Structure 1
Amino acid sequence: MAIQGPEIKFDGYNMLLNECVNKRAVREGQRVHAHMIKTCYLPPVYLSTRLIVLYTKCECLGSARHVFDEMPERNVVSWTAMISGYSQRGFASEALHLFVQMLRSDTEPNEFTFATVLTSCTGVLGFELGRQIHSLIIKRNYESHIFVGSSLLDMYAKAGGIHEAQGIFECLPERDVVSCTAIISGYAQLGLDEEALELFRRFQREGMSSNYVTYASLLTALLPAFGNRA
């Protein structure tokens, strides 16, 4: 970079930023970013998005938002990357506010945008917005997508809407360990222990693979039984 100076273009920056993202090397990424600014290189949308991904992965949300706000144009990937950064770090209101801004910008959300923003739909206000997002998902025909469906049923289950969650689960064209675990967890958290255990047995018979989250949810359902025995 130092030798090439202003001559370094997309391919060089692309390679360097991908390496920085893979290794979460924020300092090196900041140097690449600084080089862009120093040489007056205006990065295309893809490279700016890579910077956002790097900064959010390294918990530098302020830097990520600065890059996002400076972008002369954005696409669904750049919007989703910034929304995801807020969602994953627990900044639910910021994620939801940015999603509303995205809709106002006439950028069309995709399945990853919907799946990401639904994880921030917590609390009374968040749940109400989540229901509105659900209506938007139906209009866009994303409800049967495995990522979106899993996020939807998780949102309803956490809000106590287990019947809505069950309805979404039954309509999924395919199910994975995430969606199966989400519905088990929903029943367990509401104290519906027998239902949670019966679902687990059913999924086992159907050949579902389990992970540590599945077993943690199952233990939530089993604890009252052990308590009664004690």
Structure 2
Amino acid sequence: MFGKEVHAHVMKSGWLSSVFVGSALVDLYAKLSFVTNAKMMFDEIPVKNSVCANALLSGYCEAKLWAESLELVRLMPTLKLDYDHFTLSAMLRACAGLSATEFGRQVHAYLIRKFNEVENDVFMQSSLIEMYGKCGSMLKALHVFNLAGYRTGAERNKDVVLWTSMLGVCGRNGHFKDLENEMPEQAHGTYIY
């Protein structure tokens, strides 16, 4: 495989100690679904950063290795690595995969404490909606959906990402008609192709 050849060349040329090169190799292995190789590469990087951890986390999530994802997340503070939006989104995805509602609620609380204007981050809101929905907490998903895009004195604006997430949650939980009152007037009777 070409990736292993690149890895061998990086080792021979002495670039393995570079966090940037190491992160690129972790990402390469993760995207090729060679998660074991990605983990070994991650372990070989002498000084790690959040980018290389997120690359491995992405590989774990794509492979649906939820427990490994959460294990890596729990390891990050001991490696002195900060959580960013990508890390937290992956954490929510892992919580949904494991139906770990309580841990997902802790991630949600951390988001609110740590980041300003989470309510305006469409993709983070979508991750929260999907996590609560996949964990069977329809009311919490609806609560997040209702608060999404909310700013005091400003008009709320929910885009297609949030609607898609919420509609998926309703369908998954058998609540097909629950959003009918929430939908904008122009959406009733229209079809999206």
TM-score, normalised on structure 1?
Answer: 0.71
AA aligned to 2:161 is V
Match for residue 71 of structure 1 among 39, 45, 50: 45
Residue 146 of structure 2 corresponds to 170
Instruction: Work out whether 1:82 is the aligned partner of 2:56.
Output: yes
1:68-147 correspondence to structure 2 within 5 Å: 68-122=42-96, 126-141=100-115, 143-144=118-119, 145-147=121-123
1:31-70 correspondence to structure 2 within 5 Å: 31-70=5-44
Structure 2, gaps ≥5 residues long = 150-156
Q: Which moved more, 1:63-72 or 1:124-133?
A: 124-133
Give me the whole-angstrom Cα distance separating, in 1, the residues matched to 2:15 and 2:127.
39
Asked if the contact 2:96/2:132 (under 8 Å) is kept, the reply is: no
Give me the whole-angstrom Cα distance separating, in 2, the residues matched to 1:209 and 1:69.
49
Residue 164 of structure 2 corresponds to 181
Give me the whole-angstrom Cα distance separating, in 2, the residues matched to 1:152 and 1:71.
32
> Percent of counterpart pairs with the same letter?
30
AA aligned to 1:172 is A
Match for residue 187 of structure 2 among 185, 205, 210: 205
Q: Deviations over 1:211-230 (max 9, x none)?
A: 7xxxxxxxxxxxxxxxxxxx
**Larger-gyration structure (1/2):** 1
CA RMSD of aligned residues (A): 2.5
Where 2:100 maps in the other structure, the secondary structure is helix
Asked if the contact 1:153/1:165 (under 8 Å) is kept, the reply is: yes
AA aligned to 1:114 is L
Asked if the contact 1:180/1:203 (under 8 Å) is kept, the reply is: no
Deviation at 1:158, TM superposition (A): 1.4
Residue 175 of structure 2 corresponds to 192
- Matched residues, number: 183
Q: Higher relative CO (CA 8 A, sep ≥ 6), structure 1 or 2?
A: 2
Structure 1, gaps ≥5 residues long = 1-26, 212-230
Deviation at 1:202, TM superposition (A): 2.8
Change (3 A) 1:67 1:138: same
Deviation at 1:110, TM superposition (A): 0.9
Deviation at 1:176, TM superposition (A): 3.3
Asked if the contact 1:112/1:147 (under 8 Å) is kept, the reply is: no
Residue 7 of structure 1 corresponds to none
Higher share in helix: 1
Residue 129 of structure 2 corresponds to 153
Where 1:194 maps in the other structure, the secondary structure is coil
